[in-house]
Amino acid sequence: MSNIVRVTSAIASLCLAALPVVALATSVHAAPAAVTVKVGDLNLARPDQAAELQLRIKKVTKALCSGGGPAADLGARLTCERAVKEEVIAKLSDNQRQDLRIGTAAMLASAK
């Protein structure tokens, strides 16, 4: 009888010891990625540099939002891309956002 208790106790101890490792492994996958979009070197009022920011945002969204899933995940991917772009723009200063509006408008005007 004491052998059964000892074996059961050993198995329970191993299970309890493995629990934090399992929790740690799952939390690593759930952690959001930290990505930086460099904007300090850009004059966003210039159309070419506003376009450069758009390219940088596109690279980041591709890295963060393309899970490699099927086309059924298109809605989730588009939502992710929109959220990333909105977050980057929200973190710009007021002057940078104003310059971006000017640069984007000039870029669109030159495309016509």
Write the pLDDT tens digit of every residue in 52-69. 999 999 999 988 887 666
62 in the same domain as 18: no
85 in the same domain as 63: yes
The band of 7, judged by pLDDT with boundaries at 50, 70 and 90, is low
Query: Which residue range forms the structural domain that includes residue 77?
Result: 33-111
Phi and psi angles of residue 40, each rounded to the nearest 5 degrees, phi first: -65, -20
Residues of the chain with pLDDT > 90: what percent?
Answer: 38
59 in the same domain as 104: yes
Contact (Cβ atoms closer than 8 angstroms) between residue 63 and residue 35: yes
- Both tokens assigned to 86: 């909105």
- pLDDT score recorded for residue 19: 45
Residues of the chain with pLDDT > 70: what percent?
Answer: 65
Contact (Cβ atoms closer than 8 angstroms) between residue 22 and residue 14: no
86 in the same domain as 56: yes
Write the pLDDT tens digit of every residue in 35-55. 788 989 999 999 999 999 999
